[in-house]
Amino acid sequence: MAPKLLTFNPLTSNPRHGIHLSPRSVLEAMCRYHDLLTYQDRYFSVPKLLTLWGAMALLAHALRSRPLQFGFWFLLVSLLPVCVIPIPRNGFVLYLPLVGWSLYVAALLVALRDLLIKRIPIRAPAAAILRPASLVVVGALILPLHARPRAHLAPGIHEAQGHARRIMEQLLKMRPRLQPASSLLLVDDPLPPAGLEPQLFHPVGLPRPQHLGGPHEDARAAPRQRRADAV
């Protein structure tokens, strides 16, 4: 990622993709990504974020747990590269931070379970049963947390993907391969500005299409158009 950000290329020539190093912008980006991590919508403010970090660091220190400490710092460090870029990304950038987040949560649950077993007089056979049982209980609690956002977001994603696939199937039947320097213009397409994924256009030699029309949310806007140029 460093060569892409620190050297001159078409990506860094766009000011929206350049590095913006300011504490305020980094913390605001951290708030957005922690919202995604916890399935929240604009919940985290900078004070709430700093409070969460303080509590996580304090727990890791109090429990003297290296997995907790590593997970906490891995989460923060792995988020930094995308927090210095002003354009907010979607959840796909969290595939590395999720390692630290998951490690921290898992290590915390294990530490609390072991502490509970030590404090409550439980015989060895019961303790042996409690360990796998706790895994089942935690899984039963976590699965609904993932299922609710998926049920809310999946229909819109599937609808947009279905529209994109139908457009590309029709295009492939009409023009299996576009000539270099040719252009494709889509008028009144039913997709949001980012709805056409670039990989769908690879078979005909087109990059991600450029949105030329008005905002998708405004039904009174002029007809929406896209153009993509073959290379």
Domain boundaries, the chain: 2-124, 180-213+220-231
Give the mean model confidence (pLDDT) for residues 185-197: 59
82 or 2: which leads in pLDDT: 82
CA-to-CA dists, residue 50 to 17, 63, 82, 91, angstroms: 26, 20, 19, 21
Report pLDDT digits (tens) over 117-127.
Answer: 777 777 777 76
Which amino acid is located at 223 in the chain?
P
Strands (E), 149-229: 183-187, 210-211, 225-229
Q: What is the pLDDT of residue 71?
A: 94
pLDDT in tens, 68-109: 999 999 999 999 888 888 777 777 888 899 999 999 999 998
d(CA 195, CA 209): 10
Q: Which helix (H) or strand (E) holds 170?
A: helix 124-174
* Torsion angle defined by CA atoms of residues 108, 114, 120 and 126, in that order, rounded to the nearest 10 degrees: 130
CA distance 213 to 211: 6
The three-state DSSP-derived secondary structure of 103-122 is: HHHHHHHHHHHHHHHHHCCC
Say how far apart CA 76 and CA 147 lie, in whole Å.
26
- The pTM (predicted TM-score) of the whole model is 0.62
Contact status, residue 185 vs residue 205, Cβ threshold 8 Å: no
